[in-house]
Structure 1
Amino acid sequence: MCALSSARVRDGALYTGKWDANALQSPSSEELFEAAKEAIPHDATLSQNFDYARAYALMAICCIQYGDTPRMNYYIGLYQGFISVGGLQDESNWPGVLNHVDLEERRRLFWSMYTLDIFSSIIFGGFARSREACFNVCYPSDDETQSGDTNSRTTGDMHDGPSWLTGWNFVTTLYRILEHAQDRLGQLRNPVQRTPSLPGYIEPGSPRQISCLTNIMALYEQLPPVFKTTQPLTGRLDKDLFGFQAANIAASLQLVRMVLFTTENSTVDQKCQIASEVINGFASVPVAYLRAISSPLLHHLAGIGSIMGSVFENGLTETSYRRVRSVLLDLANLLANLEVDLFCRQGTSDKLRAQVSRIDEFMKIQRSVDASGPVVGLTPWVHQQSHALASPGLHAHHQLDLPQDSPQIHFPPELFTDWEYAFDFN
């Protein structure tokens, strides 16, 4: 916990001014992390000491903050091993002497790590170790009179409104849906399928886009209004918890839509629309919430790269490219704001603008050649645009003078060799 807190302080994740960030810099997060690692025995999973399960979870989250995906996967794996050894995916295997508070803590940890497993498999391209169909664990109780939660509301407010856990549990439901959508996403990410298929034996498990979104929005409409708008921060945790849940719900809803649109045969306009909604949604959230969300926000935004990268695969008209270009520059503008107010590394937005400039230069040259003679190689283009790339910002905001109707333009793969680098926001 100390290592994670230190890393988040260093990255500007404090959402109030009550703490002195400079006083929290020593010892470093890495030093605290190493101390925690040394304190955990090598056979901790066999001991079934619940504190070790919590430690694995916190260390996995800390690795996300570091941008260290391999180590994140390592600690998620250790946590999953702990669960597997004890059969803890079923509450009936939990210790029978747990009081209500201990029971609620285990439920919160269990579902938190489930959502992290699904999130990481989608954002970082791995595989989910969790299968919700195998679980027999209740959601955390949203009855705060029984949960022992001292951070939620004061006694006088206890019965005046919903619990923040109502929103938290809704997000868990979204991730259970995402788990099944992710099955199809994994197939699309691997164009060369080496694993033999099982036609006729297994029904496709990925939920259909339209029916799935309809059901999700029906559940969303049932939520209390406090979870549908992000109110300004007050500095009171019992109030701000609801704002954090509203921000998390909005982000998770957009992630569901991103995955569903990626796994279906969506049009360029549909993909641009969902990407724009994700960007605009985050842009409308008070910066203090974004600061507190910290590194996971950047990974979420990086997911837009997967959507927008796929639109170039089958070619675009100039009109379609104008729409794609607008989305990419909107994302660059959001990142530029995060560079000032948050933890986003300086120059992150410039990488994305440079990628847009490269495509802009290709489009200019493509329009200048005979329509019957498409650009086959990149050598002339690279030569002509080398000076332009020296100052990518010069071309980031100009408007392209494009005709509304144009033939399909196919983009050479060399144009996207730096695509993943442009969307590496760590």
Structure 2
Amino acid sequence: MGRSEGSFKEWIHDQSDKDSASREPVTSATAEDSSAAEVAVQPTKLHFPFLPEKDLLTRWEDSIPGPEEPSYMLLMALCAVSSQTASLKAVFDSALIDGPPVHDSDLYFLEAVSKIPMRIAQSQDLDYLRSFGLLAVYSLRCGNHTDLHRYLGLYHALVAQHGFHDESRWPSDISLSDVDDRRRLFWCVYRLEIHSACVLGHVVRMPESQVFVLYPRITPAMEPETQAWTAGWDYITDLYRLLEYAMFSLRGCKNRKPILAGLLDRPSPTTLLDSLHRLKAAKPRILLADPDSAFQSNRCKYMAVEIICMETLVNIMALLYCQAPASEVMTVADNFLKEVAMVPLIMFRIASSQIVHQILGVGHMLCNASRYENGQYRLNPSAQFFLVPGKEELTQEDAEHGEKNVET
């Protein structure tokens, strides 16, 4: 049963009354305000497209679902992420966040969490998976690693329960567009987990070697901009898969029993670099198009920055695994610095913590490489800290990661 927009507003006001008197009353941003809908679209459109953009804009247009429905929990999780995005001013168009005060993202987050059932029935409803993915994104952005692991764990429990990691176990009667939606959802959370595993050092719960899911299709019916973005998104996913192997190779296993050592499927030192070079050589031509072409939208420009960061991160990790000369690592990092220096600040704000963590990761490895070979090489002073113009406007969590990862 649907829930009226009016009753949804009443619920929001009831919740806000329970909070401190200093908090402004919260109204339904996603249900009635088109600009708020655009704010909601951006994080899912750029970073984690858990559900189709059209569905995102129209599903809750006329009514709000009942509080016990998975769609309601998804809406609350989406509101939490979009409110968080607005509070960070992480939008390309500042007009979208002009007006009333930003809604409290924690209010939406706690409401979504309160709707997680004790037991989830045998349901193929993707809204549970989408909700857990969004709650994990929100937790990572907040720096709440306990909640991050909780919601990633709930996601993986459902994946195991329904065989979501294997397309052959999906319902046979779903449409091709539904198949593409499932594929994108699966790889969204995979990328989120590889990113957090790289930043936090935790285990990878769903290694790509156990995955039997293809990428979403690129069809002639798509707009050129959508084709370019989809090709870039798939390319970045390939980079994340290489990143997983780079992490696995660098970490290794220091206490493996001899009887099991021969079973360790670990790539040779040069295999990672060769794979990266082949991947870059086969980069879709649409990604090499004129940067001034018509389909270079904001999200495509943002994607180009993400590609630069991911390529560099994988490259340096592969070089370290190969025990390459420190000078070679420095050259890669120096070229990266020159490219990043030309990136507008808005791209870092849009990225929230994700790209910033990757940059700081490169800085951390650069510092390690500078100590390599008995200190033969020294960091260029300009590279001792990755200076992002206006970095004081980034999130507090980013600053904490900077203090932790970038050593001078």
Describe the shift of the 1:200–1:82 C-alpha distance in structure 2 as closer, same or farther (beyond 3 A): closer
- Structure 2 counterparts to residues 16-415 of structure 1, below 5 A: 16-21=93-98, 23=100, 25-26=102-103, 28-44=104-120, 46-143=122-219, 145=221, 153=223, 162-187=227-252, 193-198=254-259, 201-209=262-270, 211-224=271-284, 226-228=286-288, 231=291, 239-311=297-369, 312=371, 315-317=374-376, 320-321=377-378, 323-329=379-385, 331=386, 333-334=387-388, 336-339=389-392, 342-345=393-396, 348=399
Letter in 2 for 1:265: Q
Residue of structure 2 in register with 1:420 after alignment: 404
Contact 2:228 2:287 in 1 (8 A): no
Give the gaps of 5 or more residues in structure 1: 146-151, 353-418
Residue of structure 2 in register with 1:4 after alignment: 81
Q: CA deviation at 1:9?
A: 1.5
Aligned-partner Cα distance in 1 for 2:199–2:205: 14
Contact 1:60 1:75 in 2 (8 A): yes
Q: CA deviation at 1:305?
A: 4.3
Describe the shift of the 1:230–1:287 C-alpha distance in structure 2 as closer, same or farther (beyond 3 A): farther
Describe the shift of the 1:81–1:73 C-alpha distance in structure 2 as closer, same or farther (beyond 3 A): same
Residue of structure 2 in register with 1:14 after alignment: 91
Deviations 1:9-37 (A, max 9, x none): 211211123302453612x1111111111
Letter in 2 for 1:41: P
Contact 1:174 1:253 in 2 (8 A): yes
Contact 2:310 2:358 in 1 (8 A): no
Q: CA deviation at 1:94?
A: 1.2
Aligned-partner Cα distance in 1 for 2:265–2:326: 25
Aligned-partner Cα distance in 2 for 1:41–1:230: 50
Describe the shift of the 1:232–1:33 C-alpha distance in structure 2 as closer, same or farther (beyond 3 A): farther
Residue of structure 1 in register with 2:27 after alignment: none
Letter in 2 for 1:168: W
Q: CA deviation at 1:134?
A: 1.9
What TM-score do the two structures reach when normalised by structure 1?
Answer: 0.68
Contact 1:227 1:245 in 2 (8 A): no
Deviations 1:22-81 (A, max 9, x none): 53612x111111111111212237544210000011111111211222321221121111
* Structure 1 counterpart SS, 2:250: helix
Aligned-partner Cα distance in 1 for 2:272–2:321: 13
Deviations 1:218-240 (A, max 9, x none): 43233345524895899x9x833
Letter in 2 for 1:217: H
Aligned-partner Cα distance in 2 for 1:215–1:200: 24
Aligned residue pairs: how many?
329
Letter in 2 for 1:20: I
Letter in 2 for 1:169: D
Letter in 2 for 1:338: K
Give the gaps of 5 or more residues in structure 2: 1-77
Letter in 1 for 2:309: A
Contact 1:4 1:62 in 2 (8 A): yes
Letter in 2 for 1:174: L
Describe the shift of the 1:265–1:5 C-alpha distance in structure 2 as closer, same or farther (beyond 3 A): same
Aligned-partner Cα distance in 1 for 2:358–2:229: 22
Aligned-partner Cα distance in 1 for 2:101–2:166: 40
Aligned-partner Cα distance in 2 for 1:45–1:131: 26
Q: Which has the larger radius of gyration?
A: 1
Aligned-partner Cα distance in 2 for 1:347–1:102: 36
Between the aligned residues of both structures, percent identity stands at 23
The CA RMSD measured in Å over matched residues stands at 3.2
Contact 1:4 1:29 in 2 (8 A): yes
Q: CA deviation at 1:422?
A: 5.3
Deviations 1:302-340 (A, max 9, x none): 2134313423366314xx22x3544214x1x22x5322x
Aligned-partner Cα distance in 1 for 2:394–2:293: 19
Q: After TM superposition, what 4+ stretches of structure 1 lie above 6 angstroms from structure 2?
A: none
Letter in 2 for 1:315: N
Aligned-partner Cα distance in 1 for 2:121–2:203: 22
Aligned-partner Cα distance in 2 for 1:2–1:116: 19
Contact 1:181 1:205 in 2 (8 A): no
